[in-house]
A and B are shown apart, each in its own frame.
Chain A
């Protein structure tokens, strides 16, 4: 089972690397936004941020798979423990990259008014995309690593006893469900905001 997971992770990493390298072949991409070169700066960073968000949702599903496997044959604790630690690290990276992108969304370090994605949305016919969606997304995106940290503390507290302890498994499952909902909502808001005005 571990070999299969290793192969799956390796394949995902190689194919992701291939797609990232392919972006270097795109000439003039980003023209029509701020500047053609912005694709290599802001937009590729935003794409990677969204990609990492998607991986986080998939990772949460993988941990859910570990829980189901544990219920079926008693195995899967290692997958849950390692998976939760990886989710915690990736959710922190995701939140930090989101905070950096939020500074660009507000107008970058120069804070130039009238040219930022925020000012464009606020002046558009759909100002609620900023007023409600972005205002919520910037916070609930930070809530996700806190929820996942609680999941990790549950696993660390119970250790191997987690497998037999129904209370621990229930608490972990509730937190996992909360993490999935908050991550999916954050991801959905991000996708909608980017669709309205790219960075």
Chain B
């Protein structure tokens, strides 16, 4: 009964925003591992190397998507279940994207 009353728009926005954060971190990691120039561009803080850029830009990407969707979906009726599926898929993909043997499959030289 309660399930009909609760507006899940904000939760859906959070799931998508969180999922984008994870995916962005994973994709930036693959990009920096495969392209030296991308790795150098992501080096914001020398002691951390490209890791600093991957985390910073990944979190910013997700936060921007979360913020925009929060305002778009906050008053709309939505089912957060699909958002959870997206978040879980993003988490699994993002974990695969930081698994070095997987990235090595795409290395050309």
- Residues in chain A within 8 A of chain B (CB atoms): 99, 102-103, 106-109, 111, 131-132, 135-136, 138-140, 142-143, 146-147, 149-150, 153-154, 157-158, 161, 164-168, 171, 174-175, 178, 182
Q: Beyond A157-B6, A161-B6, A165-B2, is A109–B47 a contact (Cβ under 8 Å)? A: yes
How many contacting A-B pairs (Cβ < 8 A)?
88
Is the Cβ of B14 less than 8 Å from the Cβ of A171?
no
Alpha-carbon distance between A139 and B58 when the two chains are bound, in angstroms:
11
Is the Cβ of A150 less than 8 Å from the Cβ of B3?
no
Is the Cβ of B95 less than 8 Å from the Cβ of A167?
no
Alpha-carbon distance between A108 and B11 when the two chains are bound, in angstroms:
40
Most central of B8, B45, B62 by chain A CB within 10 Å: B8
From A136, A165, A174, B88 is in contact (CB under 8 Å) with: A174
Name the A residues within 8 Å of B15 (CB-CB).
150
Give 26 pairs: A residue, B residue, CB < 8 Å, sorted on A. Answer: A99-B55, A107-B47, A132-B99, A135-B100, A136-B95, A138-B51, A139-B26, A139-B29, A139-B98, A140-B98, A142-B55, A143-B22, A143-B94, A143-B95, A147-B18, A149-B18, A150-B15, A150-B87, A154-B11, A158-B2, A158-B6, A161-B6, A167-B3, A168-B6, A171-B80, A178-B91
Name the A residues within 8 Å of B91 (CB-CB).
143, 147, 178, 182
Q: Beyond A102-B51, A167-B81, is A111–B18 a contact (Cβ under 8 Å)? A: no
Alpha-carbon distance between A132 and B104 when the two chains are bound, in angstroms:
11
Residues facing A in B3-40 (CB within 8 A) are 3, 5-6, 8, 10-11, 14-15, 18, 21-22, 25-26, 29
Most central of B26, B46, B47, B55 by chain A CB within 10 Å: B47
Q: Beyond A106-B48, A107-B47, is A136–B3 a contact (Cβ under 8 Å)? A: no
Quote the shortest CB–CB distance from A15 to chain B (angstroms): 34
